[in-house]
Homo-oligomer: A and B are copies of this chain.
Amino acid sequence: MAKRIGFIGLGTMGKPMARNLLKAGFELTVCGHVNLVPVEELRHEGATVVDCPREVAQRSEVVITCLPDTAVVQEVVFGPDGVMEGATEGCIVIDMSTISPTATREIASRLAERGIEMLDAPISGGETGAIAGTLTIMVGGKESVFEACWSTLEAMGKSIVYVGGHGSAQIIKLCNQVAVTLGQIAAFEAFTLGAKAGLKPEVIQRVLSKTTARSWVIQDKMPRTVLAGNFESGFKLRLMCKDLGLALELAKEMDLPLFALALAYNLYILVKSQGKGELENSVVSTLYQEAAGIDLSKM
């Protein structure tokens, strides 16, 4: 079992995940990249701080990346002073970012030429799940590598699902984003229609939570976001736009007509263009509420 872990990408998700590795007793190495504050925090908690991804890789059996997009992952792995320059044969890279499945397969293939294994391991569960160590982690890559990394993943997540070969976890993550987004639009349109026609949002929520329309979005998310008028914390609209863009890109590579996804993507970037990209993604409901002249949190 690997004891020496490197962690690159100490953002909203990455920092608490890295902290949970420290708590679980792993020897952690991190490097300053964009923001030095989380690096200093983790140094005080016992992490070793180095200068670049190359040095992180030199000191680690497993290197975890948790980064904003495909281009940044490629740069951190293959760029100057990147992971590939420091990693030795037998090292494992676990990419926990949400990035292109096609790019993931290419990265895995280039790393394999140097004897470096890779897992794609995108996450869901948000900042709360990252802090509590209860993330859902979807994993793609060789099953033997997945098994070798079990204790590392277990320190960060609760529901850990092996999906299949390289890129397959990125694919299922995109399927999830497509389904949850379209399920959310289902809720927005049903609630707007009913409330504008005179029903109380609370009544709509109560009834649709019991019928064949029921979903996590209607039962769990709507009451604490749209119906509470609260878009402050949670998965940002800007990041969901990125994920939906990746899903559309994948659909385009395969010549698939995904009508509702294309529509949803356009609605989401429209609301992002209104300066709402940093809010929780259910802020897209304001487009419907404003057009209807209603406020679902005050009816």
Q: Residues on A close to B: CB < 8 A?
A: 101, 124, 136, 138, 159, 161, 163-165, 168, 171-172, 174-176, 178-183, 185-187, 189-194, 196-200, 203-204, 207-208, 210-218, 221, 247, 250-251, 254, 256-261, 263-264, 267, 288, 291-292
Contact B199 A256 (CB under 8 A): no
B263 near A196: Cβ-Cβ < 8 Å: no
| A257 proximity list for chain B (CB < 8 A) | 288, 291
Partner of A204, one of B175, B180, B204: B175
The CA of A207 and the CA of B176, in the complex, are separated in Å by: 9
CB <8 Å contact, A207 and B263: no
Asked whether, in the complex, the Cβ of B250 is within 8 Å of the Cβ of A197, the reply is yes
Q: Assess whether A190 is in contact with B176, with CB atoms less than 8 Å apart.
A: yes
Which residues of the other chain, B, contact A101 by a CB distance below 8 angstroms? Answer: 197
**With A136-B211, A199-B163, A216-B215 as contacts: A258 and B193 at CB distance below 8 Å:** yes
Q: How far is the CA of A194 from the CA of B256 in the complex (A)?
A: 11
Q: How far is the CA of A199 from the CA of B159 in the complex (A)?
A: 19
B208 and A179 form a contact (CB under 8 A): yes
Is the CB–CB distance between A263 and B261 below 8 Å? no
A25 → B minimal CB distance (Å): 28
Which B residues lie within 8 Å of A186 (CB)? 178-183, 186, 260
Partner of A179, one of B190, B256, B261, B267: B190
Report how far A251 CA is from B208 CA in the complex, Å: 19
B residues within 8 A CB of A207?
A: 138, 161, 163, 172, 175-176
Q: In angstroms, how far is the closest chain B Cβ from the Cβ of A183?
A: 5
CA distance A263 to B185 in the complex (A): 12
Interchain Cβ contacts under 8 Å between A and B, 5 examples: A180-B186, A182-B186, A186-B260, A189-B260, A256-B288
Contact B260 A260 (CB under 8 A): yes
Closest to A267 in B: B259
Residues of B within 8 A of A260 (CB): 182, 185-186, 189, 260, 263-264
Q: Are B163 and A203 in contact (CB under 8 A)?
A: yes
* Bound: A237/B163 CA distance, A: 34
Q: Are B204 and A172 in contact (CB under 8 A)?
A: yes
Q: With a CB–CB cut-off of 8 A, which chain B residues contact A194? A: 171-172, 174-175
Q: Whole-angstrom distance between the alpha carbons of A43 and B124 in the complex?
A: 59
Is there contact, CB below 8 Å, between B199 and A247? no
Given A161-B210, A179-B189, A260-B263, output 12 extra A-B contacts at Cβ < 8 Å. A161-B207, A165-B198, A172-B204, A172-B207, A175-B199, A178-B190, A179-B190, A183-B213, A189-B259, A189-B260, A193-B256, A215-B217
Which residues of chain B come closer than 8 Å to A261, judged between CB atoms?
A: 189, 193
Q: Which of chain B's residues have a CB closer than 8 A to the CB of A178?
A: 186, 189-190, 193
